[in-house]
Amino acid sequence: MPRVPAVCALRGVLDSPGSVTTQARCHPPVPTDPTKARYYRKQIPLFTLVDKMKLWPSRRGILHGVKTFEPRGPYAIIETHCGRRMVVHDSKHSRAARWLRNKWFAEACPQCRIPEWKLQKYAATHFKRGYGSHLRGE
């Protein structure tokens, strides 16, 4: 029986199904180093921050992964990976903005399945008043 090459959704047809390089090429690499320090301005709009980080802290302290983010004027509709939809208001000083900046959360949502590298990247992010990216046009 002839060998059929493995197929990866990201790369197409691969060499041999059991090779180490096949497994490495099938799984997408981490976009950037999760432990590298990132600096954002402290008082940036909440919508810009959520659109960049793709994370949302609930009122109970559970950190959700954002699946879709649709801004509609001063409000936005957020849909999480666990299927919850919520309408949020844009504010630099809101509870959610403070919780994102200060990294206050009890746990990550188990249904959203936020990857470990994303939580490490979030933990390595710093918010400074006079230094960092304004997240304009990114």
**DSSP strands (E only) in the chain:** 7-8, 12-13, 38-41, 55-57, 62-72, 75-80, 85-89, 107-108, 125-128
The pLDDT score that the predictor gives to residue 28 is 60
pLDDT digit string, tens, across residues 42-95 = 888 899 999 999 999 999 999 999 999 999 999 999 999 999 999 999 998 999
| Closest CA relative to residue 38, chosen from 110, 116, 128, 129 | 128
Confidence of residue 9 (pLDDT cuts 50, 70, 90): very low
Say how far apart CA 12 and CA 135 lie, in whole Å.
Answer: 34
Largest CA distance in the chain: 66
* Range from 35-39, 66-70, 122-126 carrying the lowest mean pLDDT: 35-39
Dihedral of the CA atoms 131, 136, 137, 138 (nearest 10)? Answer: 40
Residues 88, 46, 70: CA angle, nearest 5 degrees = 50
Residue 38 confidence (pLDDT) above 60: yes
User: What token pair was written down for 103?
Assistant: 């990294």
Name the residue among 132, 131, 83, 82 with its Cα closest to residue 111.
82
Contact 39, 132 (CB under 8 A): yes
Categorize the per-residue pLDDT at 133 as very low, low, confident or very high, splitting at 50, 70 and 90: confident
